[in-house]
Amino acid sequence: MQETKKDNEKDELKVEWLGIDGALVLLFIVLACVYGYGMLHSIDFIIGIMAPGIAIIITVGVFLKYCTEVFSFATGKKGKDTE
């Protein structure tokens, strides 16, 4: 019985690299490359407009994804699956 609880806890704490977590890591790498290229070549459009715009769009997307998860949990749609 104890082994089953530990296995369930490990599954719940597992990082989903193909989900939101992986997208955030990928976002960091992409933005670092874009900013680096823009700084090396002195391209103001990339540094001032494009990279912040990409960051804003992805941040809003992640925020909305988490809001939908919280809302579905609050309404009980996800809670019924675990019972």
Q: Assess if residue 59 is contained within a domain.
A: yes
Domain-embedded: residue 6: no
Residue 70 located in a structural domain: yes
Mean pLDDT by 10 residues, the chain (83 residues): 58 67 81 90 89 86 87 75 50
Residue 74 lies in a domain: yes
The pLDDT value recorded for residue 17 is: 67
- Residue of 16, 18, 48 whose CA lies nearest to 35: 48
Spatial distance between the Cα atoms of 39 and 61, rounded to a whole number of angstroms: 27
Determine the pLDDT at residue 55: 83
Structural domain includes residue 47: yes
User: Is 8 exposed, middle or buried (CB count within 10 Å of its CB: 0-12, 13-18, 19+)?
Assistant: exposed
Q: What is the pLDDT of residue 30?
A: 85
Rg of the chain (C-alpha set) = 19
Q: What is the pLDDT of residue 69?
A: 86
Pairwise CA distance, residues 44 & 28, whole Å: 20
Total structural domains within the chain: 1
pLDDT of residue 27: 79
Range of the domain at 48: 16-78
Q: In this structure, is residue 9 part of a structural domain?
A: no
Q: Identify the DSSP state of 19.
A: S
